[in-house]
Amino acid sequence: MSERRILALLALLIGLLAALLILIGLRLPRANEDFAAWLARFAIDVILGLAAIAGSLLIYSRRYQAGGIINIVIGIVVIILGSGLTPGVLLVFSGILGLVAAGTFEQPRRY
């Protein structure tokens, strides 16, 4: 297994963990919470979690740069919106690993 595939697999696993943390954070509306605000927050978190899964799968399917950029952007959005610091940092790290995987090239062997 090449270095690219190992980095891509690691980025996939970290990205899926971050998406799982985002999706686990979903909750039902509380007693005095506005339903429309809850529904909007719920929809945003679901979309961010599914986009994180898609970005991670892009990294693993050899589209390293596209998946890396998607995961970095989604990670920053997750941090800004307050959906969780840990999933955001994990997504940014996953995106960086995807971009590093895009930059690694196999060196020809010299005998």
**For the segment 9-43, what is each residue's pLDDT rounded down to a tens digit?**
999 999 999 999 999 988 888 889 899 999 999 99
What pLDDT is recorded for position 31?
A: 87
What pLDDT is recorded for position 105?
A: 63
Q: Which amino acid is at 72?
A: I
Residues spanned by the domain of 88: 3-28+54-103
Q: Residue 44: inside a domain, yes or no?
A: no
Q: Residue 33: inside a domain, yes or no?
A: no
Q: Residue 37: inside a domain, yes or no?
A: no
Residue 6: CA atoms inside 13 Å, Cβ hemisphere, count? 6
What's the whole-number mean pLDDT along residues 82-89?
91
Q: Residue 72: inside a domain, yes or no?
A: yes
Q: Residue 76: inside a domain, yes or no?
A: yes
Q: Residue 35: inside a domain, yes or no?
A: no
Over the chain, what is the mean pLDDT? 90
Q: Is pLDDT above 80 for 111? A: no
Tokens of 57: 């799968």
Q: Residue 58: inside a domain, yes or no?
A: yes
Domain count, the chain: 1
What pLDDT is recorded for position 106?
A: 64
What pLDDT is recorded for position 28?
A: 87
Q: Residue 71: inside a domain, yes or no?
A: yes
Tokens of 62: 């050899």
